[in-house]
Every structure is written in C-alpha cells, then in structure tokens.
Amino acid sequence: MAVCSTATPSPRTTSARLADLEPREVLLAKAAGAMKASMSGAAALFAAPLAQTARVVDALRQKQEQQEQQG
C-alpha cells in the first residue's frame, strides 16, 4: 500500500536539490534549443509538400520538353 506524504521536505533536501541544478544560463540555453528544434521540425514539415510539388512540376515540364523535341 502506498503512503502519500504531504510533509514539506527538509531544508537540507531542498538545498541539495537546488545545488544539483545546472546554472540558469545553461537551463535557458537548453530550453531555447529544444524550442528551436521543434520549430525547425515544424518548418520542415510544412515546407516538404511545397518542395515536393515543385519537383513534380519540374519533372512534368522536363517530360513535356522531351516530348516536344521528339515529335
């Protein structure tokens, strides 16, 4: 059976946990990097259909040019 404790952690425990944290600048840099990565992924996801459409249109144009040259 699990026991739920609502007791406040001792100051020593809190201090030790705070001491284990990385510096504020490091935490901010990690957060910024994570946000940038997710935004880059979203941008690539949205740009992919446009790039694919451009490749298809170019392939159709090349095919049409080849058919005009042949006949």
φ and ψ at 53, to 5 degrees?
Answer: -60, -40
For residue 28, being part of any structural domain is answered with yes
In a domain, 1, yes or no: no
Q: Is 29 part of a structural domain of the chain?
A: yes
Q: What is the pLDDT of residues 3-37, one digit of tens each?
A: 555 666 666 677 778 778 899 999 999 999 999 99
pLDDT of residue 3: 57
State which residues form the domain around 65. 11-70
Count of structural domains within the chain: 1
Q: Is residue 27 domain-resident?
A: yes
Residues contacting residue 21 through CB under 8 Å, at least 6 positions apart: 27
Note whether residue 41 is domain-resident.
Answer: yes
In a domain, 6, yes or no: no
The answer as to whether 3 is a domain residue is: no
